[in-house]
Amino acid sequence: MYIFKNAIKNIGRNKGRNLLIGVVLVIIAITCVISLVINSATSSIITDYKNQFGSEVNVELDYSKLYEDGITTDFPEVTLDQLKKYASSEYVKDYYFYLEAPAVSKKINAINQEGNAEVQGSANAEGGGPDIGPPNLKVIGSSSYELFEEFKKGERKIIEGKIFEKDDEIVISENLAQKNSLKVGDVITIRSIADANKDITLTITGIYKDLTKDNTGDFAFKDPYMTRNNEILTTYETATRLVGKQANTMSRIKYFLHSPSDLDVFVKDAQSKGLSKYYSLTNNEYLYKQIAGPVESVQKISTVFLIVVLILGGIILVLLNLIALRERKYEIGVLRAIGMKKTKVIKSLLYESIVVTMLAITVGLGVGSFAAQPISDKLLADQIEQRQEQMENMGGNLGGSGVAMPNTDEIINSLHVKLDACVILAMFLIGSLLVIISNSMSLVYITKYEPIKILSERN
């Protein structure tokens, strides 16, 4: 206890020297706090988006290979049984089928159907007629409710009733329900465009609020089939009844891998089970880069900045402590000459360094936590601007033609950074490391020289 009290007094006796070291430590602490909180925020975002985009795998025709081999017609097909066989891979965590089936109905007045009603079915049958014409409804069936990503994102939400649970149960949009005076429990009849004599009766179990954007573009003619509010959501089996044998070619499958890094080995596994070379297994890597790319850049910048600050800060602290030790050689020699053991002298110097370091880190935590948010926003804005400029220079599409572009609301334009327990713990660990590094030369000096030699070298 005496040694600790004496160390506290020594800090006051050497205000100038300790103030200089403290200022350096505060600067190091602030920069480390900013880097750590930014790194923590970006890491969680990157992990979430990697799992979201990297683990979802789709089966698609590779048209470039088809054209290379001169295949323009009679494209090779992959059956449902083959797709299920690929799903048995050890790298697949889960999978589901989904199908988009066009349908028509005379009694359902679809959104954007005004002025085009005469081509949307026939009056000869309840669901349509022999001369069916273009569809006015889209029935989307899935073997898993997880297909409907809009519900996860909040773009769609069940506001009445509940999601479908059995075949022939459906949910429809609020706008479609209001336009046709439909409610939960009502029964509607639609007709398949594949079979002009086949009507399907469906029960409404839920109504969802739809905030998604239509795929109709800015054209004067709005296609009801491409209008998102006209989408009827149901089970996969219900949708297959609308397309009959065509379900084998119209169905799609989505695989979920245990890890995004398993994609290459999963491709090889599927090819060994008979997947044609003209089919590719792809994830949304490009879309991930467009959405999360600026966040990755911010993380790299913060990581590099942290490493540079720690290296330079450690070197500066070692030099400052060597200069301070040079000034205190006589003091150390006197203490050793009057009988103070080396361990106690070392403890006294360490206590001084620990107190100054912990005070500096405490100040750094407070200042850094306030400065982290505006700095992270500025870094992210710069990275987004650079990526947009890069896209403009490349013609607006870094991924080539046909690549999906992110919606404006999907782009990450802000980071929510905060000071948490992990960052605080990391900062005190960094402080301990700086104490050890900065005092290492001092400890070597004290253990190497005897007091008589130190006193004799006073002048």
Query: How many Å apart are CA 325 and CA 314, to the nearest integer?
Result: 16
**Which pLDDT does position 192 carry in this prediction?**
78
**Which pLDDT does position 401 carry in this prediction?**
37
The model scores a pTM over 0.75: no
Query: How many Å apart are CA 148 and CA 10, to the nearest integer?
Result: 67
CA-CA distances (angstroms) from residue 166 to 177, 202, 205, 296, 430?
20, 11, 10, 43, 57
**Which pLDDT does position 221 carry in this prediction?**
61
Amino acid at 126: E
Q: Are 242 and 231 in contact (CB under 8 A)?
A: no
Query: How many Å apart are CA 240 and CA 244, to the nearest integer?
Result: 6
- Which residues lie closer than 8 Å to 432 by C-beta, 6 or more apart? none
**Which pLDDT does position 454 carry in this prediction?**
59
DSSP H or E stretch at residue 257: strand 252-257
CA dihedral 406, 253, 61, 283 (to 10 degrees): 40
Query: How many Å apart are CA 386 and CA 391, to the nearest integer?
Result: 9
DSSP H or E stretch at residue 94: strand 92-104
Task: Answer positive or negative: Cα dihedral of 288, 291, 297, 298.
Answer: negative
Query: How many Å apart are CA 333 and CA 454, to the nearest integer?
Result: 5
User: Nearest 5 degrees, angle CA 136-CA 141-CA 144?
Assistant: 155
DSSP H or E stretch at residue 232: strand 231-235
Token pair 């069916």 is at which residue?
A: 132
Nearest residue to 96 via CA among 316, 212, 254: 254
**Which pLDDT does position 40 carry in this prediction?**
83
In this structure, the number of other CB atoms found within 10 A of the CB of residue 308 comes to: 12
**Which pLDDT does position 127 carry in this prediction?**
41
Query: How many Å apart are CA 202 and CA 185, to the nearest integer?
Result: 10
Q: End-to-end alpha-carbon separation of the chain, Å?
A: 33
Query: How many Å apart are CA 284 and CA 317, to the nearest integer?
Result: 47
Tens-digit pLDDT profile for the chain (459 aa)? Answer: 667 776 777 667 677 777 888 888 899 889 999 888 888 888 877 777 766 665 778 888 888 888 888 877 777 778 778 888 888 888 888 888 888 888 888 788 888 886 444 434 433 334 444 445 678 899 998 887 666 777 877 788 899 999 888 899 999 999 999 999 999 999 999 987 766 567 889 999 999 998 877 655 555 567 888 888 899 999 988 888 888 777 777 778 888 887 777 888 888 888 888 888 888 887 766 666 666 677 878 888 888 988 998 898 888 888 887 777 777 766 666 776 777 777 777 777 778 788 888 888 889 888 988 888 888 888 877 777 776 676 566 544 444 433 444 454 456 666 777 888 888 898 889 888 888 877 776 667 666 666 666 566 655
